[in-house]
Structures are given as C-alpha cells and as structure tokens.
C-alpha cells in the first residue's frame, strides 16, 4: 500500500523533472537554464528520499544533504559568473 | 559600479559552519556508516570553495594561511607514518590496532589507528582540491 503511493510520487516527480529538462534545453536565456538545473537538483533530493523509503534503508540520507550543499554551491558559482564575469576574484575591493 | 552582496556573505557565515560540521561528521562516521576520508575531504574543500566564491583569494589566504602543497605532504606523511608504525612493532607494513577506551562524557569509544591513515587521506584530498582551484583562480 505504501509502495503504491511511493511509486505515484516518483512518477509525479519524474514528470516535474522532465518539465525542468524541457526548460534546460529550450530556455531562451542562461539564467533560465541555471534555475532549471537548481530545480533538478532539488527534485533529485526528493527522488533519493523516496528511494531510500522504498528500499527500507537509511544509508542514503547523507546523500540528501550532500546534494543540497552541492546544488547551492553550484548555483552560487554560476550566479557570480553571470554577474561579475569571473567566479573567484583575486581582490574584491578593487 | 561596486555591487554589494551582503545577503550572500551573511548566508555564507551561517552555512559555512553547517557544511564543516557535516564534513567532520561524515569523516568520523566512516568506520561504521557510509563516508570516510575521501568524501569528508571533498565536502571540507567545498566549504572552502564557498568561502572563495563569497570573498576573494586574498581574504581567504589571510584567514587560512596554509600552503596547500605542504598540506598534501603532511597528509602523505600521516599515511606512510601509520604504515611504518606497523613495522616498528615487528608486524607487517600497514598493520593496524584498536582498543576500547571509556571516556567520561562520550562513553565507550573504539580508538583505531586507521583513523590516522584516514586523516592523511583527508589532508591530501583537501590539499589537492584547493591547490587546483586556487591555481586556476589566480591565473589571469
């Protein structure tokens, strides 16, 4: 019974992810694609959580926090590249 | 025009310590749960990369005055040193020992010399990742 709900939720998330992939491919501007990739990362968190319920294991829970941190750092790095033209500055006061 | 990214700097000040604590937790959980030296070192380097993105190379170098090539060397020294520790007691190279110690607050802990080897792995991973990123970031 619980497994049926989990499969339905996974199906809904896969539909949401295919919509985000459409936005990554089609998106007219670069920020559209960055936002869609960030959303894909967060959806991946949901997929890992549902799979770890489905497989009855708790060893994947570290992966959830790891994907969240990596999605944040990647999005911040891309946003800084779009804003300033370089990711790591030598001296920000110049 | 000088842009002001106060939101990112405030968020980094809070998130940095959460990421560092997560890296240390993953590192020490490596013997009984998923994790260990490699992924712990990569998350630690990720926290330092977040610091580099938010601030700049000069500020981070003032905050953490390490030469990362020396960090790699110290890590390799840790790994080789635990191996030679086995030779000193007449056993094979890289023989490890463990013992159970009762700590006052933490309770019964198993102290294992493999942790020293893992500290070497962590230092090598942090040093390699940060040396690559800083070298690419400094070149114009």
Which chain A residues are closer than 8 Å to B43 by Cβ?
Answer: 66, 69
How many CB atoms within 10 Å of residue B71? 19
Q: Round to whole Å and give the CA distance between B60 and B45.
A: 13
pLDDT of residue A94: 66
To the nearest whole Å, the CA of A90 is away from the closest chain B CA by: 5
Which among B15, B43, B55 is the nearest to A92, CB-wise?
A: B55
pLDDT of residue B96: 86
Task: Tell me if B138 and A73 make a contact (CB, 8 A cut-off).
Answer: no
A8 confidence band (pLDDT: 50, 70, 90): very high
More confident residue, B4 or A25: A25
Interface residue B133 vs chain A (CB under 8 A): yes
Question: pTM of the entire structure?
Answer: 0.89
Instruction: Please check the confidence at residue A44 and state whether its pLDDT lies above 90.
Output: yes
Cα-only R_g, chain A: 17
pLDDT of residue B72: 95
Any alpha helices (H) in B55-113, and if so which ranges?
57-63, 68-88
Residue A48 contacts residue A64 (beta carbons within 8 Å): yes
The tokens describing A70, both together, are 């990596």
Positions of chain B with pLDDT under 50: none
| CA A26 centroid distance within chain | 18
pLDDT of residue A7: 96
Task: Tell me if B53 and A87 make a contact (CB, 8 A cut-off).
Answer: yes
Interface residue A94 vs chain B (CB under 8 A): no
Using DSSP, state whether A27 is helix, strand or coil: coil
């Amino acid at each position: 019974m619980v497994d049926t709900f989990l499969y339905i939720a996974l199906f809904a998330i896969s539909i949401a992810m295919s919509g985000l992939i459409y936005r990554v491919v089609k998106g007219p501007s670069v920020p559209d694609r960055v936002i869609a990739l960030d959303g894909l990362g967060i959806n991946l968190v949901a997929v890992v959580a549902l799979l770890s319920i489905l497989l009855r294991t708790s060893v994947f829970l570290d992966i959830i926090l790891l994907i969240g941190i990596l999605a944040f750092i990647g999005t911040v790095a891309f946003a800084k590249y779009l804003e300033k033209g370089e990711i790591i500055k030598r001296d920000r006061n110049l | 025009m000088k842009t002001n990214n106060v939101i990112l700097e405030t968020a980094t000040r809070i998130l940095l310590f959460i990421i560092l604590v997560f890296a240390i937790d993953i590192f020490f959980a490596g013997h009984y749960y998923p994790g260990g030296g490699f992924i712990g070192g990569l998350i630690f380097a990720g926290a330092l990369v977040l610091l580099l993105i938010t601030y700049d190379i000069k500020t981070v170098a003032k905050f953490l005055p390490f030469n990362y090539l020396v960090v790699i060397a110290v890590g390799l020294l840790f790994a080789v040193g635990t191996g030679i520790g086995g030779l000193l007691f007449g056993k094979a190279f890289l023989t490890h020992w463990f013992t159970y110690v009762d700590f006052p607050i933490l309770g019964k802990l198993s102290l294992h010399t493999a942790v020293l080897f893992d500290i070497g792995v962590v230092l090598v991973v942090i040093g390699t990742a940060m040396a690559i990123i800083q070298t690419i970031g400094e070149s114009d």
